[in-house]
Structure formats: structure tokens, C-alpha cells
Structure 1
Amino acid sequence: MRLQALPAFEDNYIWALVDDDGDALIVDPGQAEPVLAASRLGLWPAAVLVTHHHPDHCGGVAALRERWPTLPVFAPDDARIAHASERVGDGDSVAVKGWRLRVLAVPGHTSSHVAYHGGPPQQAPHLFCGDTLFSLGCGRMFEGTPPQMLASLDRLAALAPESLVCCGHEYTLANAAFARTVDPRNDALRHRIEEAQAMRQAGRPTLPTSLARELACNPFLRTDAPAVQEAVAHRLGRMPRDRVETFAELRRWKDGFRA
């Protein structure tokens, strides 16, 4: 089994979880061509998972179904996602070729966003989280509220720490500048940034990363950490009332941040 990141657009990743026969679970195909190109090299899509309705995550589904008309496509129950063969919601499971993934509702970036957690048995689980969680960051709240988004991040943070975080964009270094501003004395963050810089210089993705590492250095998963609370308090001119306000101000800060 191998995990392959297929680049799409400027900074998207289409994830392919591929078994020894070349059969693949395809996650968030915003474009069809990277998948079609991989198929010419021996990859064969067994199923598609979609996390949310944004075109850069599902825009290639129609062309893939045209190429493989019986290809199963699992997607949230959202009319904005066309060509789904099966609608999934919180608590459902997806079984493909002996791989089983649990569906988690994680609203915030969009109202119907889901994540998929699991994969091959006896291996570290994969977390396909779309645009909810990024390495060193999180998604913008286009349709959700701070309490919703924080609850979704809390839910992901409670998963097995060895889970492999497979998010939808190569944003790690862009997020690093903000994370370092918030939490400049975090050694785990410093090591992660150095690692990510070396990976990108070598032309490699910075993903997947482990959930354990994100818990140690992603400020959006560390709203209870004194260093993060102090940074937000300095910005507000007072201590935040609660962790929701800490998260809301952190996200507002990031929205306007320029390195």
C-alpha cells in the first residue's frame, strides 16, 4: 500500500491511497487529469471520496465518472456536489477493498464538510480532512461559526495521534509564518518549519504529517496552550473570555495576516 499526493491547480493535492494491485481510493479530485495521468501509469480508481462542495475538491468527478461510469463516489449530502453515487453523513462508514473509513461531520469551512478517517488495517489511520485542518493551520470559515469550527477541530484533535493528516492544500510554509508569530518559542514548531522547508526545497510535499505533530505545533489545535492564549490576549488587550473567543480571534488574526 502506498499513499500518493497528486498535485492539482497551484497548491491542491488529490490523494490516492493505492494497494499492491494498483487499485486506488481517490480523495477530492478537483481536476480529472492528474488522476487520468496516473491511470495511464497503472493506477486504477476503485472509489472516490469527496469532503466538500468547493470546485477545487470535486470539479473533476464528472470527467472521472465519464471515464469509469460505475466508479463509486461518496460525498456529503449536499446538492452542490453533483455526480455522487452515495451520500454519507456523520457516523457512516465507507468500505472499499477491505479498507474502512469512518465519516466525521466537521462543519465550519463549509456547512456540509466531512472528513474520512481510517484505511488499511494494521496501519496508522489516514485522516482525509479536506480544508478543515491544514498543517500548521485550519480552513477559513466560509459557512460556519467559530464554535462550529472549533468543535470540528476538537473532534479531529481527539483522533489517534498517529493518524496521518492528509489535507487538501500545500499550505504548510505559508501557515508557518503565522504560527511562528503566535508561538515563537515553540521548539516543535521550529523543527516542523525546518523540516517543511527542506521538503519543499527537495520538491517533496510536506504532507502527510502526523496528528501528534500538529497537536504540538499548530496554534489552531492549541487554543488552551498558555503561549497561544497570551498571544491572543496581547492582541485583544485583555485575556479572552473563553477558548471560543481565543479561536475566533486567532482565526480573525490569521485572515488579515501578511508575513
Structure 2
Amino acid sequence: MNREQQESLPARDTRQWRKEVLMKAFDIEFYGGTKDRLIEDLVEHSTEKYSYIVTPNVNHVVQLETDRDLKRAYAVARHRICDSRVLLPLLRMLKVPVEDAIPGSTLTAELMNIAEQRAWSVTIIGCEDDDITRLRERFPNVTFHHHNPPMGFIDNDEAVQACLSFVVEHPSHLVVLSVGCPRQEILAHKIFETDQAVGIGLCVGASINFLSGKLQRAPMWMQRCSLEWLHRAYTEPRRLVGRYVRDAFLIMPILVREFRLRQSLFMGGAPR
């Protein structure tokens, strides 16, 4: 980073500096608060104009290097929450003061319990009908609206429009997007751009499959030991093992570049 770029940064130790410099890594401005405060914020705004959260992990960081649509979706998200206990130590190595990882599956489960207590409406994009049947049995007070787009929908204008229309026509407190990255984030951004939707969008991948019981989360001891990725690789080897190996190689040069950038941002040393 040259002198001119450094001089354009916000004054050190200001709120703007914390937001734009301290909490930012991999060109992602991370949420730095607690899970409880996050849930309070999402509940508070669940009846207002639509906004959405994204849940960065190592795979997302790798994809953000080349996917401009994903990058645009990330830029306007309400919060960018570290979802991964694999990404978390990398952030700590870079001295980004993220309090803890907040897995999307954990967040979705807690919000769904609130939805049950308050008899909310929840729109789900993605997942199979049997998942929704199980959710209706588990959360009888929740009104579920479900639309499952076809494979490859994100490249089909009519299929995308069907998703947008469904969300707008079924106002809900939560809009759960469960169609995988980067499709769910791009769709979340397109919903935002309609300027007609309400509620909180959650880009949370397989979280609905965990809630319905179709997939099982790792035992708690594995979650605490940051080994949930290993459990998922064991239970879904064909889908995940190759991705994990590829991401492990691709993240290394990105991490080195980010470390050097943050050294230059903090004038020769990472923040303490």
C-alpha cells in the first residue's frame, strides 16, 4: 500500500477506522459482536424492509477472488458473519477481533425457535418437500412458504424471477435461502434490489437439512474442537472432500497476501 492510499484511510481508533480497517479482512467487513446481539438485531428488523446476512467461510473467501456477482452480494449484506471455526483462527492470525464463529446452522436453529414462539412466517427457497413437511411437524406455530427452484436456476431469468416473485408475494419475518453458495447470496442480492420484500434473509446453505433431520450435525465435542468440517467431510465425502482439499491450497496465497496488506495498513505491524 502506497502513502497516498494510507492517507485516504479513516483516522486510527475512530469508529470508521474500526469498521473499514480493523474488522476488514479478505475484503470482507466482518461482524464483530456477540451471537445474542446479532439475534436481537435480526429480530428487531424482521418486520422491516428486507436485508440479508451472509456467512463467510474459507470456501467463500476463495470464491470471492473471482466471482464478481458474489462480491457485489457481500458488499451490501446487512452482516457478514464468520461461520467457520476453520476461518476463525485465520482471522485471529490477522488480528481481526471477531468474537467467535457463529455457525449458520446454529443461528438458523435459534431463529427458528423464536419463530415458533412468536408464530412467525418463514419463506424457504430451496430444499425438498419432505424437509418442509418435517419442519411443519417440528414448528407447528410457524407458517412456512416454500419454493424449490430447478437445478441451474440462477442462470435462468424466468426461474430467478419466479423466486423473486415468490418472496415478494409471501411476506415473512425470515427468508431462508438454502440453494448453496454463490447462488443463495446472488439471489439474496437480487431480492434486495427488488425493493419490495420484507424480513431478514439468511444465506445458510444446508441449515434446513440439519433442522429437518435429513443431515446430522457433528457431535458437540467435535464442534467445540473445531472439527465440524471433518464430520461433514465424513458424512458427505463426494461433495466436500475435494472442495476442502482444493480450498486448503487456494487459501494459502490469499492469506499471505492479506497478511502483507494488513502489515502495510498498520505501518509495519499488525494491530495488537
The answer, yes or no, to whether TM exceeds 0.5 is no
Larger radius of gyration: 2
Which is bigger in relative contact order (C-alpha 8 A, separation at least 6)? Answer: 2
Point out the structure with the larger helix share: 2
TM-score normalised by length of structure 1: 0.30
